[in-house]
């Protein structure tokens, strides 16, 4: 995903691709830091909580994918 994102950012950046890539790298690093902090806080609150939260997010993603797939299948038939 990151190489594809980097390509899209550099193509859309116009005359300043290095600046755009710097912003993208900074955003990615900030996201990783926030995720690690949140996971640590959740784990400190209740040890299974990060895993329960991850399972809930995966379930929501699977449900959304199933709905989108069903809509696309009915639209093409």
Residues 11, 40, single domain; the answer is yes
Residues 38, 64, single domain; the answer is no
At 48, phi and psi to the nearest 5? -75, -10
Sign of the torsion formed by the C-alpha atoms of 21, 27, 30 and 31: negative
Residue 67 has pLDDT above 80, yes or no: yes
Report the domain count for the chain: 2
- Supply the range of the domain harboring residue 9: 1-45
How far CA 54 is from CA of 1, 59, 62, 63, in Å, comes to 20, 8, 12, 14
CA 61 to chain CA mean position, Å: 11
DSSP-derived 3-state class of residue 23: helix
Residues 27, 17, single domain; the answer is yes
Residues 50, 40, single domain; the answer is no
Rounded to an integer, the average pLDDT of 44-59 is 94
Residues 30, 66, single domain; the answer is no
Residues 40, 60, single domain; the answer is no
Kindly report the pTM of this predicted structure: 0.58
pLDDT-above-90 percentage for the chain: 60
């Amino acid at each position: 995903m990151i190489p594809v994102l980097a390509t899209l950012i550099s193509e859309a950046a116009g005359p300043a691709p290095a600046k755009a890539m710097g912003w993208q790298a900074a955003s990615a690093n900030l996201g990783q830091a926030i995720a690690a902090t949140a996971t640590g806080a959740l784990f400190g609150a209740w040890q299974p909580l990060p895993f329960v939260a991850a399972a809930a997010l995966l379930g929501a993603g699977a449900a959304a994918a199933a709905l989108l797939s069903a809509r696309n299948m009915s639209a093409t038939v």
